[in-house]
Amino acid sequence: MEAGERRALLIVRALTCFYTAVAGFVASTLVSLLGAVLVYRQATLGITFSFALAGVAGVIGVLAMITGAVMLARETTYSFRILKEERRYITEHVSSPAMKLADTPPSARN
């Protein structure tokens, strides 16, 4: 259960990062468009601010995307490790008794 909860938490956090990245990219695009309108209208007051805000939103989007990708890579590595541990457990604890049972003559099993 603990491993499943940990994997689910990593996936939820990664998805949150991806949602944040999408929001950052959308905000960056919207603010850039508003900045372009300000340039067209020659409203010099808000141009620098809008492009700085667009840059910050874009950087947040990129960082969130990278963070989400790293979290998914960690979850994949963690999942692979769990599968290896489960395979080793089955090999050591389940396969060995079954092999011993198969090696035992039918008359000795009863």
Distance CA 49, CA 41 (A): 15
69: in domain: yes
State pTM to two decimals: 0.73
109: in domain: no
Q: Average pLDDT in the 30-54 region?
A: 91
Asked whether 6 and 78 are in contact (CB, 8 A), the reply is: yes
The string of pLDDT tens digits covering residues 58-98 is 999 999 999 999 999 999 999 998 889 888 888 888 766 65
6: in domain: yes
Number of domains in the chain: 1
39: in domain: yes
Question: What is the predicted pLDDT for the residue at 17?
Answer: 97
72: in domain: yes
Q: What is the domain range of residue 27? A: 2-104
65: in domain: yes
The string of pLDDT tens digits covering residues 90-100 is 888 876 665 66
74: in domain: yes
Q: How confident is the model at residue 33 (pLDDT cuts 50, 70, 90)?
A: very high
Amino acid (one-letter) located at 21 = A
28: in domain: yes
